């Protein structure tokens, strides 16, 4: 009985992230537009876009292979799984131990791997540019991310997100330099990974500096829908991750009952809103940088992560 | 058990006769490879049986009155050698089966047939040897037979050069090990491992032996900067041999290091782990960076072996560091991570080399810039190769991720280390490991994307044909194993229990009994990983939306010309190339790591010639070490060579000089 | 016969050989070199004969006779004729000047004495002194071989070296096979001389024939 | 024991008789067979000697040390005569040798066998000296047998340097006698090994030291130790290949045997200088020097001649280190090097006949054009480079490992020398054995039996040494002492 209940909660989490993801994207777009003085689309616009795309006929290039057709689903699945493994409204869900923070990072890596391959499948120069740059950015973002993961895990003594979140809620955390560094690093990585300004611009096409969009240029119809959904999920994932690690308040504990869950969900919604607002603010106040400045930008994240880690090692011994 | 193993090895050596008999004996190729497959299968079973039975039992030993006369040849199967027997013979079995098909395409099959089984036999003998003489004899025999395989295709000067560099490096390594064993055995010649174990060397001696072991076994494994031979020799051999050399022989080298460092040398000093860790870190990142820059598919794979060896050594270094501080449990984790990666790497690297062999047979090309679009012509090969690529890039839920994950877990336990230098080094190595894992993914996006995706860049690639059933069967089995190890890692971690028990005196808790086959190295609150669930989740989340969309939205698909932002070209040369794919990474790391220089030759307006772009990349190990040594030897040889052209009077002067010198020594001596 | 006389005479003769060796080093003309060598051999013959007398070993007289007949007469005469027949330069070509050579020779003598000194004196003073001189003669012979470029002077050097050996052998009391060894050496020297004649070695030991061989010496470069 | 004495005499008489008969007989087929037959008989006698050992006499002696070398010498002598039969046939065919020289060649071959047997059997340091001189003169004549400018010059160089070496060795011999005389009295006794060894502790150490210096340099010239080696490469390169095989395989050993005998004298004398360091130094210098010299070689026979210098250096080093392990290794290395190097020269002889050249640059792709020969050569080089499972690996293993534990620095120098030599050998082997075959390529009518017999023995020894041989070697290693 408890098992079924747990499964339901886990299922709810999966559904929740899937449902909220386009909304978050929509909210960010709306706020950005407002900040720039435009009216902006409705926050529900991403849902409409997705539905429209799924119903459209998919156009494939003549030499598209099976990989091209399966990759969107795979990418979507991996990011979805990763997103549902991050505690949102409650910690200690039944399957939360099936993958820890490192595995979640690696899952995102898998998704990126297949997307980059899909970008090369047709054999266009744009696809190649996109894949190549995406992988270059990822090669620096992923280690930076892992450094941050290390820092957090060392503080909490675990790589399990549930445990970490529970620890962060507890009284032992205190203010630590390492964690601050990790937070900055994580934000930088999140920006890079989600193809946001200043690393990439999600709203542009036909620009030689684009990265993510160049990669998915050949996609259309339902495949594009999956990819768009996956991007939305990824943004949500990072926001929830930051929330879970650095603002874990309000989260329900394992098997806490429906009321606690509802409260947790509410808090989660608030955090997402806050995160979206901050992102929009940041994006409107900064300009896009050249692609070859990106490694330096990410290098900063890597250094911050490593610095935080080393500080941690050192302070622990004092 | 040892008798059966010995008989199997003997069979392997005798199978070598198929080489010279080729041409007189029908089906020599099939007989040789099938025989090799049979023998390795027997050895594999032996290894498995020994490993499973190793838990409480004493190691099986035997000795023969061959080898060093007063010593005899000692053999022994303990958990460590049993585990490596499994790894080696799994790779050997796969390569043999693959060879049944691949061998038909060989131009001079006799040159491969004669030495392929001997190579397998040599590697097995190394694992069984229990005295220094038998060990080194097998070790060098392994080098010898693999050298002959590298030069099998001897008409290409490049192969000869590769073989030469390989053999000289191998010999250097053997001499280093020889010196090490000499020091361990002492002037009385106690060469049996039993004797060496009993007489624990002092700390100074042990340090020298460790350095020599790193030099000897490390050069074979391909530790930077001793890796120089590896990217030359591995691609030069026929592909199934490349797979063996890269996937299996480097593991035998790791075995050699583990045997010496963990078993024979006694308790480690604190700094051993540091040295091994740092070397492993440098090896990992340099290996993958060099791999990224290669456009020769097999050379890319070979350089990538260097990276994986680095990861394995990081695991071993952690184990040494923890063992020196008495944290046996964590040491067991590090060691298990390293050793699991040994198995994993042998699986996917063999798989990838098999794939490159299939491509080579189908197109005659190793140069990635002339390949492309093979996923259409060779769908099965492409699928297996993709699995290999994903596995080697450490993507969950495949096997490569499991061992890297365990390594990370061991790194995260390093605050338990009391030493300062280690505390700084371990996180740095962790960063390097993370960096190289990410770069590996880039590298294999490039490898798979350029070779199998896109449009064919040459006529040969356009006319490629799928590999035959033996090759596909072998690749398929390896791909399946990659998935299995990734999904139920607990099974393999449990198998490693006796090994870590033997070497560091502790083991990870039993994994198979845990619910849902989860992998929990230390404690569940700390970390856990479940490949099986992850696989199920991904499968569910892939299939469910696809079904839903196909059922309720639309499944209509139309084929059309490629879009390419509205500016499509039909020329395949307009595709992104391997070189351009690696360009961003080259810009980031280029000047520092490769001494990269770009030469652009742009014609003036009005000129009709083509513009040329040329990138010059160097392997620093060659620039800073090998070339100077080679030049030095050559210079001395040139200087000395004048002594061949002296007049008789001058030769007499030399004699006279020697006489006077000796007489003066005599006069002074009193 | 008193021990003192025996000692003094053999000492004198052995010393005479060392002196003759130095005279060989001093020569700068082929013919005078040959004459000095004849003197060298003569002193050797005398010394050997004296040893035969002292040790009451009649077979040593044979050695003395061989030394006298072969080395003091036959070889110099033969070489003289070869020099004339082959038109060899009469001037001796030295590697380093005569002065330094002689200085170096002095050093060699000192060295021989230095290495002989620790030999226990109670063994046999006669043998001990003889040995020092013989060693000097051997070393000076070698020095002769390497400090002159002419084939003839090199042969002379080798023969003076060999004279030193015979001196040592006869000085060793009761040594068997001395006669046989001196015969064997005479044959060896005959070979060398014949070789020089057959292969027409004019200037140097180094080449068997002038011209073509110069470029060879083992491997063409 | 009359029987044993007869065998011992036979060992000398058979080659001597054969030499005189061969000097008179014309005809290739008869003489070549007679040559082989005589060598076979000698070998049989040598083998019999292992069972029936004669009592040491005034002139001749058979003990553990020399019996090994006698068997080895007669064995290689026999196989080389078989190789020579097929080699010389080709030389006659192409007219490099005339029938008159053939008679001379065969006679000299047997004289050489006689001289080497005598040198090994001699119980008298004077007799040994005479025998080695005889062997040298014989080989000088054989080296010059082709009468080409190169051959004559090589012979001449060999002759002059050999003569000086002989002279120095004689001086040393005289000194040993002088050292022995006060203890052992005048006459032959003071020159017999049997007596010398037991009484050596009472000899004047200073005289012994001086003697050893001269003997080391004198016989060392024959061994080919650097810097006394100059004759060796040219003599090997320019003479007929069977002679190169015998020179490298046997004569060097015989000369080294002489050095070893005298080393034993010095070791037995407490006051004397330790001979080890001298030998170790010369060995290392030779090995290092030869390794470097290997790189610039253009003539294949000369290259392997330098390799012989290298290996003689290693052996000298091993004996210089002393101790049961190193001595054992030295003896084993001597035997293995003889067998391997002569096998290599057999192969090289056929190769140069097949390709019509000895120039390395003009030979390539042998394993393809002449598979048996090519792979034989590869196996030989693999063996000589010290790779397993061949015999030299075992001896190098023992030398290096045992000396590293005692004298790390020396062992490292040795290893460097080995490695440098290894690099050179395989650099050349790659060009010769692999690659596209070029140039003239005649089929060879060769007998591969001697080559593969040697390599087979070497391979077997690398894996398994029969107990008898081991006991023998260990005895001798014990005899040789520190």
Out of D168, D231, D470, the one facing B69 most closely (by C-beta) is D470
Domain extent for B489:
267-506
Cβ of D296 and B641 within 8 Å?
yes
Mean pLDDT on D211-217: 94
Mean pLDDT on B308-325: 94
Give residue for tokens 């020569």. Answer: C27
Domain boundary among B506, B535, B560: B506
The predicted pLDDT at position D348 comes to 94
The predicted pLDDT at position B202 comes to 82
Q: Which of D126-135, D283-292, D400-409 has the highest mean pLDDT?
A: D283-292
pLDDT over 70 at B581, yes or no: yes
pLDDT tens for D92-129 read 888 888 888 888 899 999 999 999 999 999 999 989 99
The predicted pLDDT at position A318 comes to 46
Contact at 8 Å (CB) between B169 and B228? yes
Cβ of B187 and D463 within 8 Å?
no
Out of D289, D323, D404, the one facing B183 most closely (by C-beta) is D404
Out of C114, C143, C217, the one facing B645 most closely (by C-beta) is C217
Work out the pLDDT band at C1, boundaries 50, 70, 90.
Answer: very low
The verdict on residue C218 lying in a domain is: no
Rounded-to-integer distance, Cα A182 and Cα B414, Å: 19
The predicted pLDDT at position B628 comes to 93
The predicted pLDDT at position A1 comes to 65
Work out the pLDDT band at A317, boundaries 50, 70, 90.
Answer: low
CA C62 to chain B, closest CA, distance in angstroms equals: 31
pLDDT over 50 at B300, yes or no: yes
Q: Is the dihedral of CA B146, B152, B157, B158 positive or negative?
A: negative
Mean pLDDT on B594-610: 83
Which residue, among B57, B127, B60, has the nearest Cα to B91 in the 3D structure?
B127
The predicted pLDDT at position C217 comes to 44
> What residues in C contact D234, CB-CB < 8 Å?
218
Rounded-to-integer distance, Cα B510 and Cα D411, Å: 48
Work out the pLDDT band at D181, boundaries 50, 70, 90.
Answer: confident
Least confident of C90-99, C133-142, D28-37: C90-99
First to last CA, chain C: 66
pLDDT over 80 at C2, yes or no: no
pLDDT tens for C21-69 read 999 998 888 889 999 999 999 999 999 998 888 888 888 898 899 889 8
Give which of C158, C175, C194 to mutate to test D binding, by max D Cβ within 10 Å. C175
Provide the mean pLDDT of chain C: 81
The predicted pLDDT at position A98 comes to 83
Let me know how many helices (H) and strands (E) chain B has, helices first.
Answer: 28, 5
Mean pLDDT on A212-237: 92
Contact at 8 Å (CB) between B89 and B350? no
Contact at 8 Å (CB) between B405 and B529? yes
Query: Which residue on chain C is closest to B650 by alpha carbon?
Result: C146
Out of C115, C139, C204, the one facing B647 most closely (by C-beta) is C204
Chains C and D touch (3+ CB pairs under 8 A): yes
3-state secondary structure chain A: CHHHHHHHHHHHHHHHHHHHHHHHHHHHHHHHHHHCCCCCCCCCHHHHHHHHHHHCCEEEECCCCHHHHHHHHHHHHHHHHHHHHCCCCECCCCCHHHCCHHHHHHHHHHHHHHHHHHHHHCCCHHHHHHHHHHHHHHHHHHHHHHHHHHHHHHHHCCCCHHHHHHHHHCCCCCCCHHHHHHHHHHHHHHHHHCCCCCCCCCCCCCCCCCCHHHHCCCCCHHHHHHHHHHHHHHHHHHHHHHHHHHCCCCCECCCCCHHHHHHHHHHHHHHHHHHHHHHHHHHHCCCCCCHHHHHHHHHHHHHHHHHHHHHHHHHHHC
Backbone torsions φ then ψ of B471, nearest 5 degrees = -60, -45
Mean pLDDT on A282-286: 88
Which residue, among A253, A245, A234, has the nearest Cα to A271 in the 3D structure?
A245
Structurally, chain A folds into a number of domains equal to: 1
CA C146 to chain B, closest CA, distance in angstroms equals: 5
The predicted pLDDT at position A209 comes to 61
pLDDT over 70 at C123, yes or no: no
Give which of B430, B434, B539 to mutate to test A binding, by max A Cβ within 10 Å. B434
Work out the pLDDT band at B109, boundaries 50, 70, 90.
Answer: confident
Q: Which of A70-79, C44-53, D133-142 has the highest mean pLDDT?
A: A70-79
Mean pLDDT on A84-89: 88
Cβ of B155 and D436 within 8 Å?
yes
Work out the pLDDT band at B492, boundaries 50, 70, 90.
Answer: very high
Cβ of D400 and B185 within 8 Å?
no
Residues making up chain B, counted from first to last: 670
Domain boundary among B451, B478, B506: B506
Cβ of A206 and B435 within 8 Å?
no
The verdict on residue C216 lying in a domain is: no
Rounded-to-integer distance, Cα B664 and Cα B656, Å: 12
Let me know how many helices (H) and strands (E) chain C has, helices first.
Answer: 8, 0
What are the tokens at B254? 């790791």
Contact at 8 Å (CB) between D376 and B157? no
What are the tokens at B504? 């560091």
Q: Is the Cβ of D419 closer than 8 Å to some Cβ of chain B?
A: yes
pLDDT over 70 at D482, yes or no: no
Rounded-to-integer distance, Cα C84 and Cα D478, Å: 60
Percent of chain D with pLDDT over 90: 60
pLDDT over 50 at B571, yes or no: yes
The predicted pLDDT at position B64 comes to 85
Work out the pLDDT band at C122, boundaries 50, 70, 90.
Answer: low
Domain extent for C84:
3-205
Work out the pLDDT band at C118, boundaries 50, 70, 90.
Answer: confident
Which residue, among B40, B125, B25, has the nearest Cα to B76 in the 3D structure?
B125
Cβ of C175 and D160 within 8 Å?
no
Render B601-615 in DSSP notation, one character per residue: EPPPTT--SPPEEEE
Q: Is the Cβ of B568 closer than 8 Å to some Cβ of chain A?
A: yes
Beta strands in B418-568 (DSSP E): 557-560
Cβ of B654 and D230 within 8 Å?
yes
Q: Is the dihedral of CA B536, B539, B545, B547 positive or negative?
A: negative
Mean pLDDT on D307-317: 96
Q: Is the dihedral of CA B361, B366, B369, B373 positive or negative?
A: positive
Mean pLDDT on D7-19: 93
Give which of B643, B667, B668, B670 to mutate to test C binding, by max C Cβ within 10 Å. B667
Q: What angle do CA B484, B485, B487 make, to 5 degrees?
A: 65
pLDDT over 60 at C221, yes or no: no
Domain boundary among B452, B487, B506: B506
Contact at 8 Å (CB) between D207 and D175? yes
Query: Which residue on chain C is closest to B646 by alpha carbon?
Result: C217
CA D327 to chain C, closest CA, distance in angstroms equals: 30
Residues making up chain A, counted from first to last: 318
The verdict on residue C219 lying in a domain is: no
> What residues in D contact B138, CB-CB < 8 Å?
388
Rounded-to-integer distance, Cα A59 and Cα B72, Å: 73
Contact at 8 Å (CB) between A151 and A130? no
Give, in order, the Cα–Cα distances in Å from A189 to each of A143, A164, B588.
10, 20, 18
Backbone torsions φ then ψ of B568, nearest 5 degrees = -75, 145
Rounded-to-integer distance, Cα A131 and Cα B446, Å: 9
Give, in order, the Cα–Cα distances in Å from B320 to each of A139, B197, B422, B501.
29, 17, 12, 14
Cβ of D293 and B669 within 8 Å?
no
Rounded-to-integer distance, Cα D117 and Cα D408, Å: 38
Structurally, chain B folds into a number of domains equal to: 2
Mean pLDDT on B521-543: 89
Provide the mean pLDDT of chain D: 91
Mean pLDDT on D240-256: 94
Domain extent for A222:
2-317
pLDDT over 60 at B270, yes or no: yes
pLDDT tens for B217-252 read 999 999 988 999 999 999 999 999 999 999 999 999
Cβ of B546 and A57 within 8 Å?
no
Give which of D135, D156, D299, D301 to mutate to test C binding, by max C Cβ within 10 Å. D156
Window 637-666 of B: residues touching C by CB (8 A cutoff) are: 644-650, 652-653, 655-656, 659-660, 663-664, 666
pLDDT over 90 at B19, yes or no: no
Window 360-379 of B: residues touching A by CB (8 A cutoff) are: 372-373, 375-376, 379
Rounded-to-integer distance, Cα D4 and Cα D67, Å: 13
The verdict on residue B582 lying in a domain is: no
Structurally, chain C folds into a number of domains equal to: 1
Mean pLDDT on B584-591: 83
Render B174-228 in DSSP notation, one character per residue: HHHHHHHHHHHHTTTT--BHHHHHHSPPPHHHHHHHHHHHHHHHHHHHT-TTTTT
Task: Name the strand (E) or helix (H) holding B118.
Answer: helix B116-128
Percent of chain B with pLDDT over 90: 62
The predicted pLDDT at position C215 comes to 41
3-state secondary structure D156-187: HHHHHHHHHHHHHHHHHHHHHHHHHHHHHCCC
Q: Is the Cβ of C77 closer than 8 Å to some Cβ of chain B?
A: no
Work out the pLDDT band at D433, boundaries 50, 70, 90.
Answer: very high
Considering only residues A236 and A296, tell me which one the structure prediction assigns the higher pLDDT.
A236
pLDDT tens for D265-306 read 998 888 888 899 999 999 999 999 999 999 999 999 999 999
Rounded-to-integer distance, Cα C169 and Cα C176, Å: 9
The predicted pLDDT at position B419 comes to 79
Out of B137, B151, B648, the one facing D434 most closely (by C-beta) is B151
The predicted pLDDT at position A199 comes to 82
Out of C176, C212, C219, the one facing D188 most closely (by C-beta) is C176
Mean pLDDT on D430-440: 89
Contact at 8 Å (CB) between D373 and D366? yes
Contact at 8 Å (CB) between B284 and B314? yes
The verdict on residue B171 lying in a domain is: no
The verdict on residue C211 lying in a domain is: no
Helix, strand, coil percent values for chain D (each to nearest 5): 80, 0, 15
Work out the pLDDT band at A316, boundaries 50, 70, 90.
Answer: low
First to last CA, chain B: 64
Coil, helix or strand for C205?
Answer: coil
Work out the pLDDT band at B209, boundaries 50, 70, 90.
Answer: very high
Cβ of C206 and B649 within 8 Å?
yes
Mean pLDDT on B593-606: 82
Out of D233, D289, D415, the one facing B640 most closely (by C-beta) is D289
Mean pLDDT on B279-306: 93
The predicted pLDDT at position B291 comes to 93
Query: Which residue on chain D is closest to C196 by alpha carbon?
Result: D156
Backbone torsions φ then ψ of A58, nearest 5 degrees = -90, 130
Contact at 8 Å (CB) between A190 and A242? yes
Give, in order, the Cα–Cα distances in Å from D415 to each of B77, B177, B209, C182, D421.
31, 11, 16, 45, 10
Rounded-to-integer distance, Cα B412 and Cα A159, Å: 9
Q: Is the Cβ of B330 closer than 8 Å to some Cβ of chain A?
A: no
CB A277: neighbour CB atoms within 10 A? 14
pLDDT over 50 at D159, yes or no: yes
Report ipTM for this prediction. 0.91
The verdict on residue C114 lying in a domain is: yes
CB contacts < 8 A, B to C, total: 48
pLDDT over 70 at C200, yes or no: no
Percent of chain A with pLDDT over 70: 95
Work out the pLDDT band at D375, boundaries 50, 70, 90.
Answer: very high
Which residue, among B100, B105, B144, has the nearest Cα to B121 in the 3D structure?
B144
């Amino acid at each position: 009985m408890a098992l079924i209940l747990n499964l339901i909660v886990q299922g709810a989490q999966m559904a929740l992230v899937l449902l909220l993801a386009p909304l978050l994207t929509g909210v960010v777009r709306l706020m950005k537009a407002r900040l720039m003085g435009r009216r902006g689309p409705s926050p529900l616009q991403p849902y409409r876009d997705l539905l429209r795309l799924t119903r459209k006929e998919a156009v494939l290039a003549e030499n598209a292979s099976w990989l091209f057709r399966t990759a969107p689903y795979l990418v979507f699945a991996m990011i979805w799984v990763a997103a549902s493994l991050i505690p949102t409204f409650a910690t200690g869900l039944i399957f939360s131990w099936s993958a820890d923070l490192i595995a979640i990072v690696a899952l995102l890596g898998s998704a990126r791997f297949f997307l980059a391959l899909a970008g090369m499948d047709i054999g266009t120069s744009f696809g190649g540019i996109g894949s190549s740059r995406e992988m270059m950015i990822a090669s620096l973002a992923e280690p930076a991310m892992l450094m941050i993961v290390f820092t957090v895990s060392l503080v909490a003594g675990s790589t399990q997100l549930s445990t970490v979140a529970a620890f962060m809620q507890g009284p032992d955390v205190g203010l630590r330099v390492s964690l601050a560094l990790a937070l900055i690093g994580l934000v930088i990585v999140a920006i890079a990974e989600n193809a946001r300004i200043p690393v990439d611009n999600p709203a542009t096409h036909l620009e030689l500096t684009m990265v993510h969009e160049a990669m998915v240029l050949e996609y259309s119809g339902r495949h594009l829908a999956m990819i768009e959904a996956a991007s939305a999920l990824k943004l949500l994932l990072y926001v929830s991750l930051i929330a879970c690690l650095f603002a874990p308040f309000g989260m329900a504990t394992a098997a806490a009952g429906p009321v606690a869950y509802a409260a947790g969900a509410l808090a989660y919604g608030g955090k997402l809103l806050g995160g979206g607002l901050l992102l929009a603010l940041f994006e409107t106040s900064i300009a896009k940088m050249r692609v070859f400045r990106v490694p330096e930008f990410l290098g900063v994240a890597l250094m911050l992560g490593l610095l935080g880690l080393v500080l941690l090692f050192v302070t622990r011994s004092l | 058990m040892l008798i059966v193993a010995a008989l199997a090895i003997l069979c392997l050596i005798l199978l070598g006769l198929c080489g010279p008999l080729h041409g007189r004996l029908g089906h020599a190729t099939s007989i040789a490879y099938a025989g090799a497959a049979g023998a390795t299968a027997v050895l594999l079973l032996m290894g498995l049986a020994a490993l499973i039975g190793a838990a409480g039992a004493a190691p099986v030993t035997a000795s023969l009155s061959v080898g060093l006369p007063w010593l005899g040849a000692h053999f022994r199967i303990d958990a460590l050698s049993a585990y490596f027997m499994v790894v080696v013979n799994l790779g050997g079995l796969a390569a043999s089966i693959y060879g049944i098909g691949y061998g038909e395409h060989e131009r001079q099959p006799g040159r491969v047939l004669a030495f392929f089984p001997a190579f397998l036999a040599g590697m097995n003998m190394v694992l069984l040897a229990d005295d220094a003489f038998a060990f080194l004899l097998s070790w060098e025999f392994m080098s010898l037979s693999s050298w002959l395989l590298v030069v099998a295709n001897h008409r290409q000067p490049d192969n000869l050069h590769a073989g030469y560099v390989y053999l000289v490096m191998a010999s250097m390594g053997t001499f280093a090990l020889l010196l090490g064993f000499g020091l361990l055995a002492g002037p009385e010649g106690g060469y049996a491992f039993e004797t060496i174990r009993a007489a624990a060397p002092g700390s100074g001696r042990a340090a020298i032996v460790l350095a020599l072991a790193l030099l000897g076994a490390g050069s074979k494994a391909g530790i930077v900067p001793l890796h120089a031979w590896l990217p030359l020799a591995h691609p030069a051999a026929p592909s199934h041999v490349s797979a063996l050399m890269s996937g299996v022989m480097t593991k035998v080298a790791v075995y050699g290091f583990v045997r010496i460092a963990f078993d024979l040398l006694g308790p480690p000093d604190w700094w051993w782990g540091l040295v091994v860790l740092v070397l492993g870190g440098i090896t990992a990142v340099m290996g993958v960076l060099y791999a990224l820059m290669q456009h020769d598919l097999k050379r890319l794979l070979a350089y990538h072996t260097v990276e994986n060896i680095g990861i394995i050594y990081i695991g071993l270094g952690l184990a040494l560091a923890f063992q020196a501080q008495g944290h046996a449990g964590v040491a067991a984790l590090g060691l298990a991570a390293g050793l699991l990666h040994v198995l994993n790497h042998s699986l996917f690297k063999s798989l990838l080399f098999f794939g490159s062999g299939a491509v080579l047979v189908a197109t005659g090309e190793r140069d990635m810039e002339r390949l492309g679009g093979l996923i259409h012509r060779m769908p099965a090969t492409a699928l297996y190769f993709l699995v290999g690529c994903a596995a080697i890039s450490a993507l969950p839920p495949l096997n490569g991720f499991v061992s890297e994950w365990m390594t990370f877990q061991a790194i995260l336990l390093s605050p338990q280390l009391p030493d300062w230098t280690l505390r700084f080094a371990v996180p740095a190595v962790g960063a390097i490991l993370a960096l190289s894992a990410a770069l590996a993914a880039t590298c294999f996006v490039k490898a798979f994307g350029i070779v199998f995706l896109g449009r064919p860049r040459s006529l040969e690639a356009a006319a490629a044909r799928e590999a035959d059933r033996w090759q596909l069967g072998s690749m398929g089995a390896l791909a399946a194993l990659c998935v299995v190890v990734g999904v139920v890692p607990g099974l393999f971690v449990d198998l490693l229990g006796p090994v870590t028990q033997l070497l560091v005196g502790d083991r990870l808790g039993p994994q198979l009994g845990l619910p849902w086959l989860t992998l929990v190295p230390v404690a569940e609150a700390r970390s856990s990983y479940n490949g099986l669930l992850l696989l199920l989740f991904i499968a569910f989340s892939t299939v469910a939306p696809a079904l839903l969309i196909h059922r309720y939205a639309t499944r209509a698909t139309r084929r059309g010309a490629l879009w390419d932002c509205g500016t499509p070209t039909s020329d395949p040369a307009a595709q992104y190339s391997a070189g351009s794919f690696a360009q961003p990474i080259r810009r980031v790391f280029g000047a520092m790591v490769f001494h990269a220089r770009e030469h652009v030759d742009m014609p003036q307006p009005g000129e009709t010639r083509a513009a040329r772009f040329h990138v010059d990349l160097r392997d620093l190990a060659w620039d800073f070490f090998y070339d100077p040594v080679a030049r030095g030897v050559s210079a001395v040889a040139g200087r000395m060579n004048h002594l061949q052209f002296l007049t008789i009077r001058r030769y007499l002067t030399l004699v006279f000089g020697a006489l006077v010198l000796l007489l003066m020594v005599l006069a002074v001596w009193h | 016969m008193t021990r003192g006389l025996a000692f003094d005479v053999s000492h004198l003769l052995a010393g005479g050989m060392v002196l003759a060796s130095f005279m060989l080093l001093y020569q700068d003309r082929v013919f005078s070199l040959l004459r000095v060598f004849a003197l060298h051999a003569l002193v050797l013959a005398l010394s050997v004969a004296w040893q035969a007398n002292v040790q009451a070993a009649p077979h040593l007289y044979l050695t003395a006779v061989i030394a006298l007949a072969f080395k003091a007469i036959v070889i110099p005469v033969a070489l003289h004729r070869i020099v004339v027949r082959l038109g060899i330069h009469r001037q001796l070509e030295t590697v380093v000047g005569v002065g330094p050579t002689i200085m170096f020779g002095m050093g060699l003598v000192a060295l021989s004495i230095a290495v002989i000194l620790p030999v226990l004196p109670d063994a046999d003073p006669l043998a001990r002194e003889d040995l020092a001189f013989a060693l000097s003669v051997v070393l000076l012979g070698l020095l002769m071989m390497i400090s002159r470029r002419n084939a003839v002077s090199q042969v002379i050097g080798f023969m003076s070296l060999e004279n030193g050996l015979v001196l040592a052998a006869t000085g060793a009391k009761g040594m068997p096979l001395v006669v046989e060894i001196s015969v064997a050496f005479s044959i060896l020297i005959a070979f060398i001389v014949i070789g020089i004649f057959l292969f027409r070695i004019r200037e140097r030991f180094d080449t068997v024939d002038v011209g073509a061989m110069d470029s060879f010496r083992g491997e063409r470069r | 024991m009359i029987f044993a004495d007869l065998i011992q005499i036979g060992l000398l008489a058979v080659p001597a008789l054969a030499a005189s008969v061969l000097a008179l007989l014309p005809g290739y087929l008869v003489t070549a067979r007679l040559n082989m037959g005589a060598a076979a008989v000698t070998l049989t006698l040598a083998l019999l000697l292992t069972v029936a050992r004669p009592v040491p006499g005034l002139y001749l002696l058979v003990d553990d040390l020399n019996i090994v070398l006698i068997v080895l010498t007669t064995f290689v002598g026999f196989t080389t005569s078989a190789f020579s039969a097929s080699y010389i046939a080709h030389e006659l065919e192409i007219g490099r040798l005339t029938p008159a020289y053939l008679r001379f060649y065969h006679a000299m071959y047997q004289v050489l066998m006689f001289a080497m047997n005598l040198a090994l059997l001699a119980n008298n340091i004077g007799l040994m000296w005479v025998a080695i001189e005889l062997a040298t003169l014989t080989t000088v004549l054989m080296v010059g047998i082709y009468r080409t400018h190169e051959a004559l010059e090589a012979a001449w160089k060999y002759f002059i340097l050999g003569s000086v070496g002989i002279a120095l060795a004689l001086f040393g011999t005289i000194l040993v006698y002088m050292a022995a005389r006060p203890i052992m009295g005048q006459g032959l006794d003071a020159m017999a090994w049997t007596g010398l060894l037991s009484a050596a502790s009472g000899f004047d150490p200073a005289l012994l030291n001086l003697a050893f210096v001269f003997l080391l340099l004198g016989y060392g010239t024959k061994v080919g130790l650097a810097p006394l080696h100059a004759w060796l490469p040219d003599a090997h390169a320019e003479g007929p290949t069977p002679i190169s095989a015998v020179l490298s395989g046997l004569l060097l050993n015989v000369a080294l045997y002489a050095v070893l005998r005298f080393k034993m004298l010095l070791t037995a004398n407490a006051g004397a200088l330790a001979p080890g360091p001298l030998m170790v130094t010369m060995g290392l210098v030779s090995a290092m020097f030869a390794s470097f010299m290997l790189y610039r070689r253009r003539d294949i026979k000369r290259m392997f001649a330098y390799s012989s210098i290298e290996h003689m250096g290693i052996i000298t080093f091993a004996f210089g280190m002393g101790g049961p392990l190193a001595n054992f290794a030295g003896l084993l290395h001597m035997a293995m090097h003889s067998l391997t190097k002569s096998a290599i020269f057999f192969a090289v002889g056929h190769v140069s006949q097949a390709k019509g050249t000895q120039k390395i640059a003009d030979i390539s792709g042998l394993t393809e054009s002449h598979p048996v020969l090519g792979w034989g050569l590869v196996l030989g080089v693999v063996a000589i480079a010290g790779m397993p499972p061949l015999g030299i690996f075992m001896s190098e293993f023992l030398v290096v490992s045992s000396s590293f534990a005692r004298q790390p620095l020396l062992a490292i120098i040795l290893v460097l020398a080995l490695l440098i030599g290894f690099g050179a050998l395989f650099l050349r082997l790659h060009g010769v054995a692999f690659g596209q075959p070029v140039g003239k390529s005649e089929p060879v009518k060769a007998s591969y039996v001697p080559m593969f017999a040697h390599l087979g023995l070497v391979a077997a020894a690398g894996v398994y040494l029969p107990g008898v041989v081991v006991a023998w070697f260990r005895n001798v290693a014990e005899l040789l002492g520190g």
